[in-house]
Amino acid sequence: MSASIIDGAMIAADVRKSVAAAASALKAKHGAAPELAVLLVGEDPASQVYVRSKVKQTEEAGMRSHHLTLPADATQAQVIEKVRALSADKNVDGILVQLPLPKHIDEQAVLAALDPDKDVDGLTEVSAGRLVLGKPGLRPCTPAGSVILAKRTTPDLAGAHCVVVGRSILVGKPAALLFLAENCTVTLAHSKTKDLPGLCRSADILVAAIGRPEMIKGDWVKPGGMVIDVGINRVPASTPGKTKLVGDVAYAEAKEVAGAITPVPGGVGPMTIACLLRNTVLAACARRGWEVPAALG
């Protein structure tokens, strides 16, 4: 039997709707909607597309957005100064520094200048520490979105064996910690893991965050298990000269074995910005001492 498809586009739209309801409730109660500042350094076309999309979706959710740009040749000191200014600006609730930064700028040094209470990407050392310690804080968006997708399918994940393949700071490590916080038994796999297919087959929840097109085959999937495919890989399409997006999981094979699976595109991808907007509301409430609106769930 074919797996049920976890519709990330629909679930992300639900999250955005709940964010819009929460933003509207906050505006009615406190006279101000949360504000997200997005800083883009340089003119990388892909980053410009991402930033435009973030700004548009922030405004569609009824929040204020504040879009700043610096030229590609801005110095590290100038970028840090801008991040410090946004951190000190009492009207700004969330700050997103669009990555990657130009090569001459040390991303860690820039992130270190960011107020962790405004770190809506969840990338600062303080945010990472809060996640490890299980303290309240802003969680990285893509892993948080992956957990929301899993919980829409199985609300109580306790006791499930979750295998996360990939141990990056951005996705794999925080995903492992977030599934652990849901009381899963977590195994974190990587390029040196032995018998990866066998390990994957033992996963009730298999999270693929590798960056290798369709590496996880259908017979690596536990029959009836859940597959969350974080991978986004551009590969040649069957039409010459065209490309298409595929995940890290061989979707056509895996969906014949899994109980539930996220597609690529339309799975984890749309959840990232939705969780960014959600984090902006959470950041505004935490720093301004506002109660989190019930609409946010």
Q: How far is the CB of 98 from ligand NDP (least distance, A)?
A: 13
Q: Three-state DSSP class for 22?
A: helix
Q: Report the catalytic residues.
A: 54, 98, 121
d(CA 146, CA 95): 22
Q: How far is the CB of 231 from ligand NDP (least distance, A)?
A: 4
Helix (H) and strand (E) counts in the chain? 10, 11
Pick from 61, 74, 114, 230: which binds ligand NDP (CB under 6 A)? 230
Burial 268-286 (b: 16+ CB within 10 A, else e): bbbbbbbbbbbbbbbbbbb
Interacting residues with ligand NDP between 104 and 143 (CB under 6 A): 142
Q: Helix, strand, coil % (nearest 5) of the chain?
A: 45, 15, 40
Q: Is 233 in the site for ligand NDP (CB under 6 A)?
A: yes
Our CA angle for 204, 10, 176, nearest 5°, is 35
Q: How far is the CB of 114 from ligand NDP (least distance, A)?
A: 19
Q: How far is the CB of 75 from ligand NDP (least distance, A)?
A: 27
Q: Which stretch binds ligand NDP (CB under 6 A): 90-98, 161-169, 235-243, 274-282?
A: 161-169
Q: Is 231 in the site for ligand NDP (CB under 6 A)?
A: yes
Cis check for the bond before 136: say yes or no (omega within 30 of 0): no
Q: Which stretch binds ligand NDP (CB under 6 A): 62-70, 125-133, 235-243, 264-272?
A: 264-272
Structure tokens at 180: 């652990």
Contacting residues toward ligand NDP, per CB under 6 A: 142, 165-168, 170-172, 189-193, 196, 209-212, 230-233, 248, 268-269, 272
